[in-house]
Structure 1
Amino acid sequence: MDRFLPLTALLALFALPIDAAQSQTTERAPDTMAARVLACAPCHGAEGEGTSDAYFPRLAGKPAGYLYNQLIAFRDGRRRYPPMNYLLEFQTDDYLKKIAEYFASLRPAFPPPVPPVDSKEVLARGEQIVKNGDPQHGIPPCSACHGPALGGMEPGIPGLLGLRAAYISGQLGGWRYGTRTAFAPDCMQIVAGLLTEVDVKAVAAYLSSRPAPADPSFAPRGSLPMPLECGSEPH
């Protein structure tokens, strides 16, 4: 094929009606946040609901403060995942806040819970830690910070439902080994450091097996007991 357009094609190009040429130069995609975050859809779903890939979490309906903190963490390298680090490297605080607020406002349906494949003993251990903790080993209950319905609390504590077991265990592992960090004092790093590998598996299995919450909203700020001081959610 010739590298250059034939003369007839060039003539046809310049012979476009003026109104057609103008429409080609003035037509623009809608300048909305929904259009701007379409790049997030392949991994996180069209409405932030998550996808079938266990390692890409649901974003929709989480507190805006939590989502903002994570975007900042990816941008600044405190949370490491190269595609996210690259995408956010040059984004401003204000723009990341708008992205967070957009996803926080969405309420798509939760996915069905994953049928548990672990033993009843494993699920019982996970339920114990989630609801009551393990005082003997200094482990506070997940519900103390994430709420009895596990929906999270404003402004910076996320809901824990609608996530896959592999993602949950991966994040707990990240805190345990220092590849995921939060603002000091990093309460999740403290809690995760108290968990054994068996505990991590149990918590992940139990949470991923839970049905969608009846009320997907998160608790108001300061309404949960917070047994530890958290830099993302100051007292």
Structure 2
Amino acid sequence: MKTIFKAMAVTLVATAALGTAWAGPMDKPKQGKLLGDKDYEWNANGGEKDEAEHLTPDLANGREVYEVCAACHLPEGWGQTDGTFPQLAGQHPKVIIKQLADIRALNRDNPTMYPFALPDQIGGPQAIADVSAYIQKLKMNPEPGMGDGSDLEHGKKLYKENCARCHGDHGQGDNDKYYPRLEGQHYNYLMRQYQWIKEGKRRNANPDMVKQIQWMTERDTKAVLDYVSRIKPPADKIGVKGWKNPDFE
């Protein structure tokens, strides 16, 4: 099992090294449109997203599908503190379903993940439903990557005034509205995604958020995301330090 993970990780790192110069399906989006296009809907109904949401998850198959994901996101779903890969553990299933469906439909540009998210790698809508349910049940990283902690009061104020309305007063997100759980997410990953959303690079981002964060300064950004990364999830969602997922031992 570890050999499989190592081989997949090498492939993924090689793919990531190609960066935006990667020539492939992402160069010619077939669905979805750039932010600013009046016909663009960030969360349009239809397609695999809707189908997967209405299926009954099979956790046993979800574990099998997650083996592909584990090479980068780790068997525990804890990702990397340097922000290379996000923590997935504990994330809302509809958030995972939407992001997987958007990547497959070329509504979100992710050249590194795209080849491994395709139906011939993980399966169809049922597989998306299965792996999303499996991910939600994983306990979260007790030691997420954080910022320097130098401006937390400013970050707390910004979060309450600008972020809590959608992402919740505790960063818990909202499954039904596709707002991701932010509490305990790696600071460096939050920073990168925030910047991509602000610049319009993450094309499936909520346009309301794109507009809302345009005024934030570099200080504001660092402070609020540092604060978010330090919000502790509920105790029953946090894993034990050093825990290893027995499904992959």
Do these two structures clear the TM 0.5 threshold for a shared fold by scoring above it? yes
C-alpha distance in 2, partners of 1:157/1:213?
A: 18
Residues 21-52 of structure 1: CA deviation (Å, up to 9, x unaligned): xxxxxxxxxx7321232121122121323234
Q: Which residue of 2 aligns with 1:208?
A: 229
User: Are positions 1:179 and 2:210 aligned together?
Assistant: no
C-alpha distance in 2, partners of 1:97/1:151?
A: 21
Which of 74, 86, 101 does residue 45 from structure 1 map onto? 74
Q: Which residue of 2 aligns with 1:102?
A: 134
C-alpha distance in 2, partners of 1:46/1:84?
A: 16
C-alpha distance in 2, partners of 1:175/1:103?
A: 24
Asked if the contact 2:65–2:127 (Cα under 8 Å) also holds between the matched residues in 1, the reply is: no
Give the secondary structure class of the aligned counterpart of 1:96. helix
1:95-174 counterparts in 2 under 5 A? 95-104=127-136, 106-114=137-145, 116-119=147-150, 122-131=151-160, 133=161, 141-155=162-176, 156-174=178-196
Asked if the contact 2:197–2:203 (Cα under 8 Å) also holds between the matched residues in 1, the reply is: yes
Residues 194-213 of structure 1: CA deviation (Å, up to 9, x unaligned): 32332221112111233343
C-alpha distance in 2, partners of 1:151/1:215?
A: 13
Task: Name the structure, 1 or 2, with higher relative contact order (CA <8 Å, separation 6+).
Answer: 2
Code of the residue aligned with 1:207 in structure 2: it is V
Asked if the contact 2:82–2:188 (Cα under 8 Å) also holds between the matched residues in 1, the reply is: no
The alignment's TM-score, normalised by the length of structure 1, stands at: 0.65
Asked if the contact 1:150–1:160 (Cα under 8 Å) also holds between the matched residues in 2, the reply is: yes
Give the secondary structure class of the aligned counterpart of 1:194. coil
Q: Which residue of 2 aligns with 1:19?
A: none
The two structures, once aligned, show a CA RMSD in angstroms of 2.5
**CA, structure 1 residues 84+126, in 2 after alignment: closer, same or farther (shift >3 Å)?**
same
Give the secondary structure class of the aligned counterpart of 1:80. coil
Hey, which bits of structure 1, 4+ residues long, moved more than 4 A?
113-116
Code of the residue aligned with 1:126 in structure 2: it is G
**CA, structure 1 residues 216+36, in 2 after alignment: closer, same or farther (shift >3 Å)?**
closer
Q: Which residue of 2 aligns with 1:68?
A: 97
Q: Number of aligned pairs?
A: 175
C-alpha distance in 1, partners of 2:86/2:63?
A: 18
Structure number, greater radius of gyration: 1
C-alpha distance in 2, partners of 1:174/1:97?
A: 27
Asked if the contact 2:78–2:88 (Cα under 8 Å) also holds between the matched residues in 1, the reply is: yes
Code of the residue aligned with 1:165 in structure 2: it is Y
**CA, structure 1 residues 189+43, in 2 after alignment: closer, same or farther (shift >3 Å)?**
same
TM-fit CA distance, 1:118: 4.3
**CA, structure 1 residues 92+113, in 2 after alignment: closer, same or farther (shift >3 Å)?**
closer
User: Are positions 1:33 and 2:62 aligned together?
Assistant: yes
TM-fit CA distance, 1:113: 5.0
**CA, structure 1 residues 187+93, in 2 after alignment: closer, same or farther (shift >3 Å)?**
farther
Code of the residue aligned with 2:127 in structure 1: it is Y
Structure 2 spans left out of the alignment, 5+ residues: 1-59, 239-249
The alignment's TM-score, normalised by the length of structure 2, stands at: 0.62
Which of 85, 93, 105 does residue 114 from structure 2 map onto? 85
**CA, structure 1 residues 94+192, in 2 after alignment: closer, same or farther (shift >3 Å)?**
farther
User: Are positions 1:189 and 2:210 aligned together?
Assistant: yes
C-alpha distance in 2, partners of 1:179/1:211?
A: 29
Residues 126-184 of structure 1: CA deviation (Å, up to 9, x unaligned): 111112x2xxxxxxx2111111221111221111122121111111111111111337x
The percent identity for this pair of structures is 29
Give the secondary structure class of the aligned counterpart of 1:202. helix
